Amino acid sequence: MLPVALMLAASIPSAPVPKVTVELVKNGSFEEGPDLPHGWTALDKDSTKITGWTVTRGQIDLLTDKHWQAGEGKRSLDLHGSPGIGGVKQTLATKKGKTYTVTFLMASNPGGHPTEKSLWVAAAGEKKKFTFDSKDKSLTDMGWEKMGWEFTATDDETELEIYSAEDADPFAGPALDNVSVREKK
């Protein structure tokens, strides 16, 4: 005769297994990278000092929560360097024809003007512009907002690039944190 616990377990219907998607972005919160004893550093175009990422277009700043409130973890990016107007990119393993969801946290450097800042997210020949207004925000209350977008892969590798859409104030740009890409289920 089977033990009572085993009989009960056998009679309970199993719940459906949720579909789990794999995170494609490495180091989406920019936590892995150079030491930042002063709370920030400027990184020039083509720098690969942030693990998994390459700086594009121009200079950016990598900052810690010693400088301003991060959206996730302790680090985030200002897509305008000291000075410079740049972005970051990463090559992702994708499947041609599959749809992917990009999410990220956006704010903007509250010390610059104008207060409204924009960035572009680009992948697979498509791009979308996102905007954030830092009016009434501060270094300790950045007001991070979650943004999202979808793209369809055109190849088995897709370059994701996120870059500033601004051309004013080369010292204070859109802020970026917690980048994620997952296959849409």
Q: pLDDT by residue (tens digit) across 39-51? A: 999 999 999 999 9
Q: What is the pLDDT of residues 7-16, one digit of tens each?
A: 444 555 566 6
HEC per residue, the chain: CCCHHHHHHHHCCCCCCCCCCCCCCCCCCCCCCCCCCCCEEEECCCCCCCCCCEEECCCEEEEECCCCCCCCCCEEEECEECCEECEEEEEEECCCCCEEEEEEEEEECCCCCCCEEEEEEEECCEEEEEEEECCCCCCCCCCCEEEEEEEECCCCEEEEEEEECCCCCCCCCEEEEEEEEEECC
pTM as predicted: 0.89
Query: Considering the chain, what is the average pLDDT of its residues?
Result: 91
Q: What is the pLDDT of residue 20?
A: 62
pLDDT at 6: 47
Mean local confidence (pLDDT), 158-166: 97
Banded pLDDT at 114 (limits 50, 70, 90)? confident
User: What superfamily in CATH does domain 21-183 come from?
Assistant: Galactose-binding domain-like (2.60.120.260)
pLDDT at 59 > cutoff 70: yes
